Structures are given as C-alpha cells and as structure tokens.
Amino acid sequence: MSNDSSNIVAKNTMHALLLVLALVALAVARPVHLIVDTDIGGGGCQDVDDIAAVCIANALADNGEAELLAIVQNTAPPPCAGVISVLNHWYGRDDVPLGAYKGTGLTHSNPPLSFVDDLVANYPSPVKNSSQVPDAVSIYRQALAAAPDASVAISSIGLLTNLENLLRSGPDQYSALSGVDLVAQKVFLLVAMAGKYPTSNGGANGAECNMCGCYNGADATSAQTAASSSIYVFSHMAPTVKVLFSGGEVGVEIRTGAVLETCAEANNPCRRAFMDFKRDNPGGWAKGGRSSWDPLTILVAVRGASAAGNGVTECDDCDGTNSVTEGGNNHWVAGPPSNQTYLILHDANVAAKAIDTLLCQRPRQQAAAVLS
Ligand SMILES: *[C@@H]1O[C@H](CO)[C@@H](O)[C@H](O)[C@H]1NC(C)=O
Ligand SMILES: *[C@@H]1O[C@H](CO)[C@@H](O)[C@H](O)[C@H]1NC(C)=O
C-alpha cells in the first residue's frame, strides 16, 4: 500500500516535472527571424495572395512565432511599398524596416491591381510609395548583419530581383562580407515560392510566374530581368543554406481569404484587398478565395515545412537540385543529396485552415488604423 502510493507520488512528480520542462522548452523557443520579399499587387506576377502573406506574417509575429526583421518589395510600381506599410500599420508594426527594388531592369508599364491604389489612398500609413524607402539590398544587408548567425529565414514570394542584387552585393557600412558570404553566415532557410515540381518544362502554361516574371502584361525587358535573376539566385546560393521550393502546383490548390468577408471588421485592409480582388478579378476567385502560394510559403518558413497542421511536407525522396534555365523554366535534376528540396501537398483543406485562422486573428496591438 505505502509502496503503491509512493509510486503514485513519484509518477505525479515526474509528470509535473515533464510538464514544466515542456513549458520551459516552449518559452525558450525563439521566434523565427523572418524577412519577407514580396511583389505585392504589382509587376508581372501581381496577385492578392501577397496580402494574405504579409497579413499572416504579422499575425505570426503577434503570436510570438516570428519576428519581422524587414519586408522588401521586389518589383517596380512605386505604390506597392505603400501597401506593405498600410498592412504593417494596421498590425501596429510601423517599426519594421521596408525596402524596395531600385534597379533599372524592371519597369512598371503594366498597372498594379486595383487594391494597391485603394489601400494606399484610403488607409493611414507612414510610407506611401517606394521613393520613401531605401534600396532593398541595404535593408537586407542591415537586417542580416544585425542578426545572430544562422538565425534568419527568408520568404521569397515574388521575383528574385532583390535576392540577386543581395548576392551580388559587396561590403558596405553594415558588413564587411560579400552578399553571398553574409547570406551563408546569417540565413538558415530560404523558402522560395518559385518554380513547378518536378518540372515546369512542357507544362500547360510554361514557366512558373515568379521564375519568369512574364505574365500580366509584363514587357520583354522586365521578363528578361526576372528570369535572369532566378537563374542567378539559384545557381549562386551558398550550398549550406537550405532552399525549400514552394511550387506553383502546391499553392494553387489551397484557397484562402474568402473567410475575411465574415471574420474581419469592414475596415480591415487585408479584407478590403481581398474584396477588391474578388470584385475586379472574378476569374481568379473560387470557393474559399484565392490560391495561396505566398501565405503557404510564409507559413512553412515560420512553422517548418513539415509541421503538423500545415497540410504539406518537404519531399524526402527527391535528392538533387533545381535547375533554372532560359525563360524561367525549371526542372528538378536528380543527384546527390543537397540542401535543396521542395514541398509536397498532402491536404489543401488543412493548409487553408491554418492560413485562414491566422487571417482572422485580430491584431494584438493595433495602431489607430481607421479609414481616413
Ligand atoms: C511618393 O509619396 C510622397 C509622399 O506622399 C509624394 O510626395 C511623392 O510624390 C510620391 N512619389 C511617387 C513617385 O508617387
Ligand atoms: C547542407 O548544409 C549543411 C549546413 O547547413 C552543410 O554542413 C552541408 O555540407 C550542406 N550539404 C551540401 C550537400 O552542401
């Protein structure tokens, strides 16, 4: 009898100890240091899913799961940086550094989606356009230099133009390292919404958009710039940096954002952008909302590719590397193990639920963000 009860006491003590250890582990799990590189609403791959991406990046930061080190725009239209600023302001994050592509290889000949001007004109934000923010390369270099080694995840959800310029960059006021060496030292993960897997070659619509930058009325010079950036980035990335490709064939199946119509306040800018898109681009809308290439890419950058509840895993049966060629086509070349792999979709509804839940989450510390 006394033996039994002391066993029970010992067991309970052990359980309590394990619980405390689990809580401590949770408490010390550091937020993922995240940089988001987006083509939000403008350029050859303009879409509304970048809105979901930037909104859930903020929600994940509210949860303590991510720390937003910077958000940069990888296209040319000036007001797109203003959209990022509107969203960050809504979530009370005016302090996140913003940057934009300042090269000459992209034009803004094709107009942005309608939500871009709507948000910038009708919502408060400290930044209205890209002329008010530094070059994305210096924002990247400043953020990386200040971060602990191997602590940064980059979520690339647009053209690879900024990343090309970062990799090509040399020492500056922030770091004595070259761009390639700075990335190798600071970045543990690049999740790139780019390409189709195992191949885009021969696919019905050809190259995936972020790899080629060639749809939505993009001019030839801009498409050429975008494709050569993709080729450069994926052939010059340090081999020690894990590169996880989020393929077009995965995100297309995951529909999100329709829920904003009922779960969010009428003046929520994430909701407003989705409703603008639904009204003006009905062909891109389906039950559940818009395809979710970009928010999925944020989700896996922060929670891990194969985390339960993502509805995806990384391929564990695809040793090799991605080859990007002329025109932004890509194909997986089987070969020895590398630090490159790609996402496999298991359950689009599970992925959609994770994203929609974050979209519906109220900002933790909202700035005084009302329709002006
Ligand atoms: C950018 O915004 C500023 C501040 O609102 C404005 O003065 C400037 O004309 C704008 N530039 C462009 C290119 O839209
Ligand atoms: C993958 O990255 C790890 C460290 O991040 C490195 O030790 C390893 O050599 C890399 N693998 C390849 C095949 O380059």
215-270 confidence digits (pLDDT tens)? 999 999 999 999 999 999 999 999 999 999 999 999 999 999 999 999 999 999 99
Please give the distance, rounded to the nearest whole angstrom, from the Cα atom of residue 337 to the centre of ligand 2.
Answer: 9
Residue 19 clears pLDDT 60, i.e. is over it:
no
Lowest mean pLDDT among 26-35, 80-89, 120-129, 338-347: 26-35
Q: Are 227 and 337 in contact (CB under 8 A)?
A: no
| Average pLDDT of the residues of the chain | 92
> At which residue do the structure tokens 């020492």 appear?
171
Q: Which ligand number lies closest to the CA of residue 188?
A: 2
Cβ partners under 8 Å of residue 97, min gap 6:
69, 70, 71, 134, 139, 142, 143
Whether 371 has a pLDDT exceeding 50, the answer reads no
**In 10 A of CB 288, how many CB atoms?**
17
User: Who lines ligand 1 at CB under 6 A?
Assistant: 78, 128-129, 131-132
| Secondary structure class of 101 (helix, strand, coil) | coil
The residue whose CB lies within 8 Å of the most ligand 2 atoms, and thus the one to mutate among 240, 243, 244, is 240
Secondary element (H or E) of residue 26: helix 2-28
Residue whose Cα lies nearest atom 10 of ligand 1: it is: 129
Confidence band, pLDDT 50/70/90 cuts, at residue 7? low
Cα–Cα distance for residue pair 331/336, rounded to 1 Å: 15
pLDDT digits (tens, 9 = 90+) for 181-227: 999 999 999 999 999 999 998 655 699 999 999 999 999 999 999 99
**Ligand 2 center to 101 CA (angstroms):** 30
Q: How far is CA 135 from CA 73, 162, 195, 276, 300, in A?
A: 9, 9, 26, 29, 27
CA 157 to chain centroid, in Å, comes to: 5
* Alpha-helix residue ranges (DSSP H) falling in 91-178: 114-122, 136-146, 161-168
Q: Is this prediction's pTM over 0.85?
A: yes
